[in-house]
Structure 1
Amino acid sequence: MDAANYASLAALCQRVFAQPLRESMPECPAAVSAPWCLTLLTGQVREPSLQALQAFLDGQQWRVVGVDILACRAACCAIRLQLDSELAFDDARRALLALADGLDMELILQPGATQRTPQLACFDMDSTLIQAEVIDELAKIAGVGDQVAEITLSAMRGELDFQQSFRRRMGLLKGFTEASLADIAPRLPIMPGAPRLLRALRGLGCKTAILSGGFTYFANYLKDNHLAVDVIHANQLEFDGGALTGGVIDPIVDGARKAHLLQEIAEEMHLSLEQVVAVGDGANDLPMLALGALGIAFHAKPKVRAEAPQAIDGFELDAALYLFGLNDRQIEALLDDATQ
């Protein structure tokens, strides 16, 4: 963080939102007392965009009662506005999504009470913690990539029942060898920001879980080699003679099962759903995204982005930490502690 840039941004925010800000980032943001928080994420803050946002808020009679700059970096600026207003969440969320598209920023609305560290964070795996749909990668090697990819996309768009699509895809992978799986696992690209987010959550005492329609084989590899994960629930691969049978082992982890597992883990940990957050990208993640204090659609398909309570589109996965009420000074301190 550049101190001069921070001071300049603080002056700009103070001018536009008429709220006092310190000239340097404090150790921690102000306590949240308003009923709603609106987090602005952008690569570059532009005064006309802030003015347009303020005009929109005035038009809605959503009064800004506090401003905190959570991040001021070349790749990401995060500004949190506390809003004192009565609003209908779903209508407000949709209006802000439409507004953000025209302002070159992301606007994420959440109840003020959810600006806190969760006690349990549940993640989808494929296209959320890793930059791949594993079943598609297996299919490419097996020579059925186009067929499987089309089924996957239809399922993620919500056009096909997940269980039916999963059985169809697995049938196409019959004969794939276990030795080939071991070659693929180290090549899975980790989602940028995922290791930082999970390490920070562990430092905060938050338990983490993978709830995936992918495979335990790869989820366990990630847990053992890359990501600070506590619990894994995913689909098991069925082998015979060192090769996939093309069958499945029930129960399949689909959207309904993800939601059930989230609730089950929370109960086992004696947590209320207000202490849980979920992150995913596909239509089969929507049931769990609807359950917790926050349901964050990450780099999601349009249908999921439109329906999820919160969405992060153009930033790395660790941008979720700003929705937990943390600023960059706190995050860096957590990560420094984790490496000592």
Structure 2
Amino acid sequence: MSQRFVVRATGAARPGQTAALGTALVSANCRLLDLSQHVAFGEVTLEALVETADDLGAMLPTAGDVFGLDCRVEAVSAKSETLWADVAKDPVWILTLMAPALSAEVMAEVGALTAEQGLTIQQVRRLSAESRLDAANSPGDAGACLEWRLSGAVRDSTLLREKILALSERFAVDLALQPADLWRRHRRLICFDMDSTLIQAEVIDELARRHGVYDEVAAITERAMRGELDFQQSFRERMSKLEGLDESVLADIAESLPLMPGLERLMGYLKRLGYRTAILSGGFTYFARYLQARLGFDEIHANELVIRDGRVTGEVQEPIIDAERKAMMLKQIVEREGWDPDQAVAVGDGANDLEMLAAAGLGVAFHAKPLVRRQAALSVSVMGLDGLLYLLGYSASDLATLSPEH
């Protein structure tokens, strides 16, 4: 009578072991039902699910000695097969952990958090380059990153989200959980806010500072943050304060805008990988066009600075790019290109970006305000913009095969 077995073979990795084990299974008249193999730190682990009427327990250990593997054979019970079938139906998740350096203490905390939620760790793999996880990397490096593949139904998604944010803040790491679905490696569109996302500045504040009205504009911004004004009202009031600003200062401001760390590296790889990139901003087209020319964004959508006779008029040109319009434009691009909404990624830092983040298949709060971090699906507060490559599932070894465009 046939019986099912799991064969587990381990040992120092070397060529020919899979072929040798396969030959041994053929000699034992085995039917191969499933197979898994991986190598870590020079050690190979090969596991096979087989079915045979022969006595594998006597044959394989001896065969394993020949090709340098320690072979164990375990009979599979009907109960085990039922359990495996149930586990195969569980949701699967990807947990990305990244920071300039990662410690054993962080590993322990992440493991405890996943266990508390009833999630099983199926696999952990390094996405970052081959260097020490616990040592801070050079400024040009993308930091340390581990990707955890988990299975199971999350017991309390709200509590899990809160604990992910708390753990991230406590250890100064970025921790992001997302479904391990088909779309994760098939995103096509990435939309970015501009101010405080692509650049380390709020352009309207820089314009106000040059015009000598910074305190007045900041007071309007503060009223908006208290909820006394909505975005469109505050935008109109702030624009009115810029009336008379000399057009000549715009180029100087554009050229001095500090880029967000990791932006140039990110854009170089996104272009090589064929993503469509867009700036959807409540800022100004003048500065968005500057970034487009410098970094190669495919399209930009922002507010126009109305200039007449070499001076900013302070007028507002409709339509104003606000939160609702950002989300609408993301959806329009997706529809125009014939993509699924889940193939879109949105990245932003402010409350004005939340609708856009929610409209995308993957919404990332980048160095965002606390309210935005709590409401967005994913949050990055430690790494640079090139950390987005890890969230998309690309490893340093993947990217090493490409030469990023500039």
Structure 1 CA distance for aligned equivalents of residues 188 and 112 of structure 2: 36
Q: Which runs of 5+ in 2 are unaligned?
A: 1-37, 43-89, 138-142
Task: Give the match for residue 183 of structure 1.
Answer: 252
Distance 1:283 1:44, change over 3 A: same
Shift in Å, 1:89: 4.2
Structure 2 residue matching 1:247: 3-state secondary structure: strand
Structure 1 CA distance for aligned equivalents of residues 346 and 222 of structure 2: 21
Task: Give the match for residue 265 of structure 2.
Answer: 196
On the 8 A contact 1:117/1:206 being kept in 2, the answer is no
Structure 2 residue matching 1:163: 3-state secondary structure: helix
Task: Give the match for residue 241 of structure 1.
Answer: 309
| Amino acid in structure 2 at the alignment position of 1:70 | L
Is 1:173 equivalent to 2:230 in the alignment? no
Shift in Å, 1:331: 2.3
Shift in Å, 1:128: 0.7
Higher relative contact order (CA 8 A, sep 6+): 1
Task: Give the match for residue 366 of structure 2.
Answer: 298
Task: Give the match for residue 121 of structure 1.
Answer: 190
Structure 1 residue matching 2:101: 3-state secondary structure: coil
Task: Give the match for residue 98 of structure 2.
Answer: 41
Once the two structures are superposed, the pairs formed by residues 210-289 of structure 1 within 5 Å of their partners are 210-224=279-293, 226-289=294-357
Shift in Å, 1:97: 1.1
| Amino acid in structure 1 at the alignment position of 2:330 | L
Shift in Å, 1:170: 0.2
Decide which of 107, 112, 117 is 1:60's aligned counterpart. 117
Task: Give the match for residue 144 of structure 2.
Answer: 77
Shift in Å, 1:115: 3.0
On the 8 A contact 2:117/2:160 being kept in 1, the answer is no
Shift in Å, 1:48: 2.1
On the 8 A contact 1:198/1:227 being kept in 2, the answer is yes
Distance 1:269 1:142, change over 3 A: same
Distance 1:293 1:240, change over 3 A: same
Structure 1 residue matching 2:97: 3-state secondary structure: strand
On the 8 A contact 1:174/1:244 being kept in 2, the answer is yes
Deviations 1:125-147 (A, max 9, x none): 11111111000000001011122
Larger Rg: 2
TM-score, normalising length: structure 2: 0.72
Shift in Å, 1:101: 2.5
Distance 1:157 1:266, change over 3 A: farther
Distance 1:316 1:154, change over 3 A: farther
Shift in Å, 1:23: 3.2
Aligned length: 311
- Identity score, percent: 46
Task: Give the match for residue 22 of structure 1.
Answer: 40
Task: Give the match for residue 207 of structure 1.
Answer: 276
Is 1:140 equivalent to 2:186 in the alignment? no
More strand by share: 2
Structure 1 CA distance for aligned equivalents of residues 150 and 348 of structure 2: 27
Q: Which runs of 5+ in 1 are unaligned?
A: 1-19, 25-32
Distance 1:325 1:108, change over 3 A: same
Is 1:86 equivalent to 2:153 in the alignment? yes
Please give the root-mean-square deviation of Cα atoms over the aligned residues, in Å: 2.1
Structure 2 residue matching 1:49: 3-state secondary structure: helix
Distance 1:169 1:115, change over 3 A: same
Is 1:318 equivalent to 2:375 in the alignment? no
Task: Give the match for residue 173 of structure 2.
Answer: 105
On the 8 A contact 2:172/2:382 being kept in 1, the answer is no
TM-score, normalising length: structure 1: 0.86
